[in-house]
Chains A and B, each alone.
Chain A
Amino acid sequence: MELFLSGKHHTIIVKIYGELDHHAAIGVRESVDRELGRTGARNVAFDLSKVTFMDSSGIGVIMGRYKITKALGGRVIVYGASGDVKRIIEMSGIDSIAVVADSEEAGMREVEANV
């Protein structure tokens, strides 16, 4: 997992590599929450383009970050998913609470348009 702050949009970008299951989700949510507290960012963007496997645990991570960013007045952005990862995101209906986009730029445009 690669995690960095994009100051321009008060956004933490979380690029996840490999598999996002329940085991990996524990580490992801701890790191992201620590970074949110440390940086004062209010948005979290998940880049899923390098995720090779994801089950419903990934949806749990997104839902959990939605609750936190909502309290901060921010949003969750999810982008870059393909194949079965994309299918699970679509099945979950997570687009009703998070910005689901094809690219980081498209996701950020939507966040800015709704500020």
Chain B
Amino acid sequence: MYKNSMKVEFPNNSDNERFARTVAAAFILELDPTIDQLSEVKTAVSEAVTNAIIHAYEQDEGIVTMEGNICGDVVEFTISDSGVGIPDISRAREPLFTGKPEKEERSGMGFTIMETFMDTLDVQSEVGKGTRIMMSKKLK
């Protein structure tokens, strides 16, 4: 059974959103994904990384970590930060909810897109400690 893993860490600059989703796409190429699957994974990873970049550290600098694991034909990504955390996860996951309604013009669709484009999504967060988003998708 094919297995692989990877881990990248990068500062919370918005230009690293493209970097992260490009790495994620390259990581799953070995599984020979369809164009649609590739696009779905890139979009879901982009949402998770963007959330971390916008929300986790507010105006401060911080590190966002992306880990990838492939086990057979299932890929799992974990995007984590050591930032402010999410006080109410179920509310944050509601469609159209956004913690930054004015300045950042967020649509509140990030979690909905992650849920739709991946098979599983799990969000763990502790206020003052950080947030960890785990998502997986079967690629066959």
Contacts and interface: CB of A to CB of B under 8 A. Distances in A.
Given A64-B105, A84-B36, A91-B116, A26 B14 contact: yes
Given A22-B53, A26-B14, A53 B107 contact: no
Contacts of B53: 22
B109 A92 contact: yes
B107 A56 contact: yes
Given A21-B18, A23-B15, A84 B110 contact: no
Contacts, number: 65
B11 to A, nearest CB: 13
A92 B50 CA distance: 18
A57 B21 CA distance: 14
Number of contact residues on B: which range applies?
Answer: 20 to 34
Contacts of A73: none
Contacts of A60: 104-107
B107 A92 contact: yes
A104 interface: no
Contact of A59 (B17, B109, B116): B109
A63 interface: yes
Interface in B1-42: 14-15, 17-18, 21, 36, 39-40, 42
Interface of B: 14-15, 17-18, 21, 36, 39-40, 42-43, 46-47, 50, 53-54, 104-110, 112-113, 116
Interface of A: 19, 21-23, 25-26, 29, 53, 55-57, 59-61, 63-64, 83-84, 88, 91-92
Given A22-B14, A22-B104, A23-B17, 17 more contacts: A21-B18, A21-B46, A29-B105, A53-B42, A53-B46, A55-B43, A56-B47, A56-B107, A57-B50, A57-B106, A57-B107, A63-B105, A63-B107, A83-B39, A84-B36, A88-B113, A91-B112
